Amino acid sequence: MLLRRYLMKERRVPMLIQCTKKLLDELKIMPVKEVEEVASLEAWHANFMKIGRHKFTVLVNDQNRYAIVLYGMKAKDKKNIHQLIVQAIREVFQAESIKEEIIEDYLEATTELTFAKTKDRKLVARLNKACESVHFGEKYWDPNSIVQVEMSKWISSLLVGDGKNSYFHPNEAMYEDLKEISGESVFDREALVLKATLELEQHSIWRRIKVPANISFTELHRVLQTAFSWHDSHLHDFTIYKKGEDGSLKQSLQLVCDEEAFSYEGDIPLEMETGQKVTPYLPAQIVYTYDFGDGWEHTIEVEQVLHESTVNYSVCIDGEGDAPPEDVGGEPGFDHFLTIIQDSSHPDHLQMREWGEMQGYREFDMKEINWRLKMR
């Protein structure tokens, strides 16, 4: 630990943000003319872009192409762009389960931010590739946050080429770079083992999932979508149940994904799920409801806390049952669907099987689920 801190402090240099003209004009920043030489891990290229009326700022690390995305900065945010960039790196790294001390050492080793013009065409081309990905990352966009944590993680997980017929994932490259300068594993090792059970009367459908202990409810939603082969086509919420004085479970809070839910507020307090972590609400029973029409309720229980996890992504470790297809009509519709696809003589058999495949119905395949969880 002491050796790592010594090495990190020895690296103290300005963090270099090399901006396109569009971004410099947007931020109203005068770039420095003479730039002190900086190691590529402390250097980032940055660009400003618009999608319709929505404004994004995208930063890409020079060494490993890791991306950080900011959204919708107002005038006061632009004045504090130095602090905002540092905070954005911190928040995204935290969401990656990178150890706090390594994050702080990386940020402390950069004593200040220096803004300069871009001058490397190859790095600008790589920056433009990341900007293109923003166009396709709508499902990861959080309109209520400047720091786009999930979008940043997603873009950084995409496979990129190095121009030499080889490919890599920027997030994995960042982990290795931080490991090299710190001399130790970069991940927090605590994880939760959750059992998510789809509450049906006639069917046993559940998944056991190991997730990073710092997982957010937004990320947990995406993990559950993958584990149960849902398509994320409908709204969802999380209801937190706490034990009352009499020992019974009582609803204490509902975390929602859409502000329209506040128009129907009842006796249970409502909050947006954005930025909310799961761990602070534990111990508790959590019910995840997806698609308020079909009403798929999943009971989530924490079965175990692990202190020796070796990865920073979620893994399905067990499960049972094939989840219903989207828009099947709740459990009665699911029963009707199964009756038809299990009877090859039924006149609607082939049509129903094809419809089910279109709606995401598939056999429970843990290997495929884990591939999709890692690639998300």
Is there a single domain that holds both residue 198 and residue 311? yes
State the total domains in the chain: 2
If 0-12 CB within 10 Å is exposed, 13-18 middle and 19+ buried, where does residue 260 land? exposed
* pLDDT of amino acid 245: 75
Last residue of a domain, one of 158, 182, 206: 182
**CB neighbours of 262 closer than 8 A, spacing ≥ 6?**
256, 270
- Of 48-57, 105-114, 297-306, 345-354, give the lowest mean pLDDT range: 105-114
211 and 115 assigned to the same domain: no
Q: 347 lies in a domain?
A: no
**209-219 burial string, b = 16+ CB within 10 Å, else e?**
bbbbbbbbbbb
CATH at 202: 3.10.290.30
Give yes or no: residues 145 and 14 share one domain: yes
Is 350 domain-assigned?
A: no
CA distance 19 to 23: 6
Residue 10 above 60 pLDDT?
Answer: no
d(CA 157, CA 92): 13
Place of tokens 């082939």: 350
pLDDT greater at residue 9 or residue 217: 217
Last-in-domain residue among 147, 182, 217: 182
Question: Within this chain, do residues 176 and 223 fall inside the same structural domain, yes or no?
Answer: no
Given a cut of 70, whether residue 186 has pLDDT beyond it is yes
Q: What pLDDT was estimated at residue 111? A: 64
pLDDT band at 3 (very low <50, low <70, confident <90, very high): very low
Residue 133 lies in a domain: yes
In a domain, 352, yes or no: no
State the pLDDT at residue 7: 47
pLDDT confidence band for 62 (50 / 70 / 90): very high
pLDDT tens-digit profile of 281-298? 988 899 999 999 999 999
Q: Are strands 270-272 and 249-256 parallel, antiparallel or unpaired?
A: parallel
In a domain, 175, yes or no: yes
- Tens-digit pLDDT profile for residues 341-363: 999 999 999 999 999 999 989 99
Q: Which of 309, 311, 315, 310 is nearest to 371 (CA)?
A: 315
Residues 133 and 198 in one domain: no
Q: Band of the pLDDT at 176, cuts 50, 70, 90?
A: very high
pLDDT of residue 209: 97
Residue 22 has which token pair?
A: 């569009």
Considering Cα of 101, then 106, then 110, then 115, what sign does the dihedral take? negative
Q: Clarify whether residues 160 and 260 are in a common domain.
A: no
For residue 328, is it within any domain? no
Residue type, 58: V
Q: Which two tokens stand for residue 223?
A: 């993990």
**197 lies in the same domain as 273:** yes
Domain end position, chosen among 139, 154, 182? 182
pLDDT at 1 (0 to 100): 46
The pLDDT score that the predictor gives to residue 35 is 75
Query: Is 105 found in the same domain as 245?
Result: no
Could you tell me if 127 and 247 lie in one domain?
no
Closest CA to 241 of 232, 233, 252: 252
Residue 19: the pLDDT is 96
- Domain range holding 209? 191-323+361-375
**Domain-located, residue 340:** no
Mean of pLDDT over the chain: 90
Give me 346's structure tokens. 């039924």
State residue 168's pLDDT score.
Answer: 94
Domain of 54, CATH number, reads 3.30.420.10
Arithmetic mean of pLDDT, 9-13? 58
As a whole number, mean pLDDT of residues 34-56 equals 90
CA gap 316, 80 in Å, rounded? 41
Greatest mean pLDDT among 185-189, 211-215, 246-250: 211-215
pLDDT band at 6 (very low <50, low <70, confident <90, very high): very low
Note whether 204 and 172 are same-domain residues.
no
Query: Does the residue 342 lie in any domain?
Result: no
Residue 121 sits in the same domain as residue 196: no
Whether the pLDDT of residue 151 is over 80: the answer is yes
Lowest mean pLDDT among 100-104, 133-137, 170-174, 304-308: 304-308
Residues 202 and 289 in one domain: yes
